[in-house]
Structure 1
Amino acid sequence: MEGDDLDPLFELYKEVVADGGAVPADGEPTIDVFLEGWIRKRSVFVAWRDGEAVGTYFVRSNFPAFAAHIAQAGYIVARRARRGGIGTELLRHSLDQARELGFSAMMFNLVLESNPSRQLYEAGGFTVVGRIPEAREKEPG
């Protein structure tokens, strides 16, 4: 990620919040929440098409103090680029990057019922290993 990437990535984040794919704790997609939840202490990558950010992902240690070999990743694909293979490419790239960063496993956190990423992860060979009922404090809408 370059310094100039922050504004377009924040716009993608706001788009996901508006679509209900992310729910900030206070309900508002502020730059501070975005920085804390998406940028800080993460390796961030951006997919560009024709000079526009069409997707992004981060990779980080999911359990730094206890199981630092397990990566967590999060993805955003721009509305205008969805269903065009960007998510699949981001997933492939993130798995390669996670290995390069020394991780030997990867996990994802998502709202199962409403997140289109589930199909992407399952197509990539991942399975659901647990559920936390009512994990969200606030539901979208």
Structure 2
Amino acid sequence: MPIREAAPGDWPRIWPFWHRIVAAGETYSWDRDTTEAEARELWAGTGRQVYVAEEGGVILGSASLKANYGGPASGIANAAFMVDPEHTGRGTGRRLAEHVLAEARALGFRGMVFNAVVETNPAVALWTSLGFTVLGTVPEAFDHPRRGPVGLHIMYRAL
């Protein structure tokens, strides 16, 4: 499946699954009622590189890459990943992650940090398999809609 930099016209095809995933409230700490305009700014706003995995004209998933910090700490990246729930189980998340890690390295980032990975998110296994480690967990920081309060991992990997 090809992965490419997103074009401005891709957002209308990203938004439906972005909204579905965030509204479910299980894996992202963004407001479940985030508007489309707010979502677009969060995902594709200034300073972000956006990528899509596309197959047969269908966007299967997307990733957003940015500097996690500013100034002298701007060498550490942050990224977010979403795979359309209609297209999971095909390796899209791994392919996007490998691509974004390579892009972050090529852009000069020295490491990548995830600030708030819900500890019950199945993607924790993917991140671990790609070399990320859990630096710490903020206990009961996330109100999961089915499991109640669960922890948020801070994860890191050198590039």
Same fold (TM over 0.5): yes
Identity %: 32
User: What is the identity, as a one-letter code, of the residue corresponding to 1:48?
Assistant: E
Partner of 1:64 in structure 2?
70
8 Å contact from structure 1 (residues 24, 33) kept in 2: no
Match for residue 127 of structure 2 among 117, 121, 130: 121
- Say whether residues 1:89 and 2:95 are aligned partners: yes
In 2, Cα distance between the equivalents of 1:23 and 1:30? 14
SS in 2 for 1:71: strand
User: What is the identity, as a one-letter code, of the residue corresponding to 1:130?
Assistant: G
Between the two proteins, the alignment pairs up a number of residues equal to: 138
**1:66, CA displacement in angstroms?**
4.3
In 2, Cα distance between the equivalents of 1:23 and 1:88? 21
Structure with greater proportional strand content: 2
Partner of 2:56 in structure 1?
50
Partner of 2:18 in structure 1?
13
Gap regions ≥5 residues in structure 1: none
CA RMSD of aligned residues (A): 1.7
Q: Deviation digits for residues 55-103 of structure 1, max 9, x if unmatched?
A: 1001111111341111011100111221111111011100110011110
SS in 2 for 1:108: strand
Query: What stretches of structure 1 move > 3 A for 4+ residues in a row?
Result: 138-141
Gap regions ≥5 residues in structure 2: 1-5, 147-159
- Say whether residues 1:111 and 2:111 are aligned partners: no
- Structural mapping, 1:11-50, within 5 Å: 11-19=16-24, 20-25=26-31, 27-40=32-45, 41-50=47-56
In 1, Cα distance between the equivalents of 2:30 and 2:133? 26
In 2, Cα distance between the equivalents of 1:32 and 1:130? 32
Partner of 2:137 in structure 1?
131
In 1, Cα distance between the equivalents of 2:67 and 2:100? 13
SS in 2 for 1:34: helix
Q: Deviation digits for residues 83-138 of structure 1, max 9, x if unmatched?
A: 1111110111001100111101011231112x1211110111111111122334x5
8 Å contact from structure 2 (residues 64, 80) kept in 1: yes
Name the TM-score, length of structure 1 as normaliser. Answer: 0.88
